[in-house]
Amino acid sequence: MPPSKEDEALWQRYRSNPSEKDEIVSRYIPLVKYVVARMTVTPPPGLDYEDLISFGLMGLLDAIDRFEIERGFSFQTFAVPRIRGAVLDELRKCDWFSRTGREKLQRLERATERLMIQGITPDDESLKREMDVDDKTYREMLSLASRGYVVSLDEVMSLDEGDVQKGDLLSYTGASAQEFLENREERDLVVGALNRLSERERLVLSMYYLEEMTLKEIGLVLGVTESRVSQIHGKAIVSLKARLSVHS
């Protein structure tokens, strides 16, 4: 998405007078809040939502310093991955997603794949037996699996400079999701994997990705806690990943 005329004028003013950086920062603070709000992460002890915003602002400032409007794309496209990256970098320093956490997630993914290869439905009980873990450890694994960066790419978000589609905020230049799914075999594989999920898992994915509901809102609809919704979401994502991996 190319920059708007208003964007171009803003950046021209900034380039001619860098001391007015505050105007640029103020314009894009809503973008930082948007990115942080859509990251399914829980601040570790000692940090809160405002800390995540501060981390995101660090990414925003870095993006402002590096952005070259002459290259013909919008600042949002350039800034979003840097804002998200800054938040994740700071969380890693706080051991948010520790080595132990990554090992637990990999263990869950491998167990799910093994069951699928054996023709066994990877439900909660079969997964716990396969990994020989208790209920508490298992649910921790599901919560880890849910901590991804997920957005709907078609929803339009409003910033000061106008309406922007979320898909336009991504810098990825490879094949689009639509182009990927135009391949009938791959499309059928994805649809088949979705159909193999439980009804509740499909419902959570639908409300989260299509209806743009938060985990807390989904919990209110289903009558369960936000933590439980996170676990359902995590299991659905792991199952989809495993099914696509097994059949690739």
Which residues lie below 8 Å from residue 126, measured CB to CB, with a gap of 6+? 115, 120
**CATH architecture assigned to 5-95:** Orthogonal Bundle (1.10)
Verdict on whether the full-model pTM lies above 0.85: no
Q: Are 56 and 35 in contact (CB under 8 A)?
A: yes
pLDDT in tens, 65-86: 888 877 777 888 888 889 988 9
What is the residue extent of each domain of the chain? 5-95, 99-145+176-246
Average pLDDT in the 43-49 region? 72
Q: Tell me what the mean pLDDT of segment 99-115 comes to.
A: 86
CATH code for 99-145+176-246? 1.20.140
Distance set, CA 145 to CA 17, 83, 108, 239 (Å): 46, 22, 9, 10
Bridge-partner residues for 164, per DSSP? Answer: 157
The alpha carbon of 215 is separated from its chain's Cα centroid by a whole number of angstroms, namely 13
Predicted confidence at residue 173, as pLDDT, reads: 44
Indicate the length of the chain as a whole number: 248
DSSP 207: I
